[in-house]
């Protein structure tokens, strides 16, 4: 499902990261960083909450506002703990989201639709993830440290928020595509890039076909967290299935870390990976005029340890947002 938005602008963004992300190539773009994974809190869940809440506070400070009409937020944890606690703190009318690592663009699509309906005038869309709280919930205890294959990705730590409204700014939320769930039978819980690549291909194809655009219409197409191998899989798969050549393409998971120096396997992942890269270096390049039209495709593996233990394969989804520089 693809549609254009009439009057929605991305006014401001805020990013808060953990120590690994701050040692990556994008460190100068982030608003705040913590040098410890606990973010001076007692548990990883509270650390993630703190980073998410910090990002909302920084965002409101930058906007010089106290609140927004609606708060849309989601994360990876059971019952979306960090989002709920942040919503409790912020006292903004709240809708909780879950689409795993595709949550960030899901939020932007819903927020933009609300603003275009003229029922609300401003929305904060936020997302978070934390390496240790995710490992604890989806895999093994953190101190266990079982070894992982090269294809595994590394859940990124941080909180990211965006302020959308009908007040014009130089970044316009131009169009959005709500993806469908795709499952091509991958059961390997470490190979999330292969799980998500078909979903990304399906969403990108649908987006380009509906809007009658070619892939090179965009100055940059990015996927959320396919990792270095998933990126190749997507390029091969989309070429073979839809005959789309992705030339100006990159993956946020690959951009977030120094893959050679940091032990992050195939790259970053997690709901916050895509917005951390988008709201930092990509928006910066748009503001500096290097990029004019960008398609952000956040990819989510709808992974549940229960389903995998019951021998089912992992479904995936991808949502896309087209951002444009306007004068």
Does residue 143 touch another protein according to CB under 8 A? yes
Q: Site for another protein (CB under 8 A): which residue of 118, 140, 167, 169?
A: 140
Residue 289 touching another protein (CB under 8 A): no
Binding flag, residue 194, another protein (CB under 8 A): yes
Q: Is 7 exposed, middle or buried (0-12, 13-18, 19+ CB in 10 A)?
A: middle
Residue 124: partners with Cβ closer than 8 Å, 6 or more residues away: 56, 59, 60, 68, 70, 71, 72, 73, 92, 111, 161, 162, 163, 164
32 binds another protein (CB under 8 A): no
| DSSP secondary structure string for all residues of 260-277 | TTS--TT-EESTTHHHHH
Q: Which residue's structure tokens are 């997507």?
A: 234
Shortest distance (Å) from residue 208 CB to another protein: 18
User: Using the rule CB under 8 A, is 325 a contact of another protein?
Assistant: no
Residue 124's nearest CA partner among 70, 54, 168 is 70
Residue range at the interface with another protein (CB under 8 A); choices 60-68, 136-144, 170-178, 304-312:
136-144
User: In which residue are the tokens 């953190």 written?
Assistant: 142
Which helix (H) or strand (E) segment holds residue 321: the answer is strand 316-325
Is the Cβ of residue 30 or residue 265 nearer to another protein in the bound state? 265
Binding of another protein at residue 191 (CB under 8 A)? yes
Residue 62 engages another protein in binding (rule: CB under 8 A): no
Cβ–Cβ < 8 Å for 128, 51: yes
Out of 1, 185, 216, 245, the residue judged to bind another protein by CB under 8 A: 185
From the list 60-68, 82-90, 181-189, 299-307, the region that binds another protein by CB under 8 A is 181-189
Cβ distance to another protein smaller for residue 265 or 279: 265
The piece of 20-28, 111-119, 231-239, 301-309 that touches another protein (CB under 8 A) is 231-239
CB 132 within 8 A of CB 44: yes
Residue 182 DSSP one-character state: B
Nearer to another protein, 106 or 135 (CB): 135
Segment contacting another protein by CB under 8 A, of 69-77, 106-114, 230-238, 254-262: 230-238
Specify whether the CB–CB gap between 303 and 287 falls below 8 A.
Answer: no
Is residue 145 involved in binding another protein (CB under 8 A)?
Answer: yes
Which residues of the shown chain bind another protein in the complex (CB under 8 A)? Answer: 42-43, 136, 140-151, 184-186, 191, 194, 198, 229, 232-233, 236-237, 240-241
């Amino acid at each position: 499902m693809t549609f254009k938005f009439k009057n929605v602008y991305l006014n401001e963004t805020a990013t808060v990261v953990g120590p690994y992300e701050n040692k990556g190539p994008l460190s100068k773009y982030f608003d705040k960083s913590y040098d410890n994974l606990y973010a001076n809190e007692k548990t990883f869940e509270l650390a993630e909450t703190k980073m998410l809440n910090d990002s909302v506070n920084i965002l409101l400070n930058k906007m010089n506002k106290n609140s927004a009409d609606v708060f849309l937020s989601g994360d990876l944890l059971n019952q979306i703990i960090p989002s709920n606690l942040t919503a409790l703190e912020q006292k903004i009318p709240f809708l909780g989201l879950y689409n795993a690592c595709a949550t960030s663009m899901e939020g932007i699509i819903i927020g933009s639709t609300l603003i275009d309906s003229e029922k609300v005038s401003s929305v904060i869309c936020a997302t978070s993830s934390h390496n240790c709280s995710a490992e604890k919930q989806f895999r093994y205890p953190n101190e266990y440290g079982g070894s992982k294959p090269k294809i595994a990705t590394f859940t990124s730590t941080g909180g990211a928020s965006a302020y959308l409204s009908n007040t014009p700014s130089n970044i316009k939320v131009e169009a959005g595509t709500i993806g469908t769930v795709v499952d091509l039978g991958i059961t390997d819980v470490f190979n999330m890039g292969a799980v998500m690549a078909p979903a990304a291909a399906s969403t990108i194809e649908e987006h380009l076909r509906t809007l009658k655009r070619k892939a090179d219409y965009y100055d940059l197409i990015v996927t959320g967290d396919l990792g270095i191998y998933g990126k190749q899989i997507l390029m091969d798969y989309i070429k073979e299935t839809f005959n789309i050549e992705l030339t100006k393409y990159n993956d946020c998971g690959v951009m977030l870390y120094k893959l050679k120096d940091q032990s992050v396997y195939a790259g970053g992942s997690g709901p916050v990976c895509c917005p951390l890269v988008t709201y930092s270096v990509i928006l910066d390049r748009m503001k500096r005029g290097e990029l004019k039209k960008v398609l952000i495709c956040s990819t989510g593996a709808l992974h549940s340890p229960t389903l995998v233990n019951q021998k089912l394969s992992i479904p995936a989804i991808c949502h896309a947002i087209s951002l444009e520089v306007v004068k």
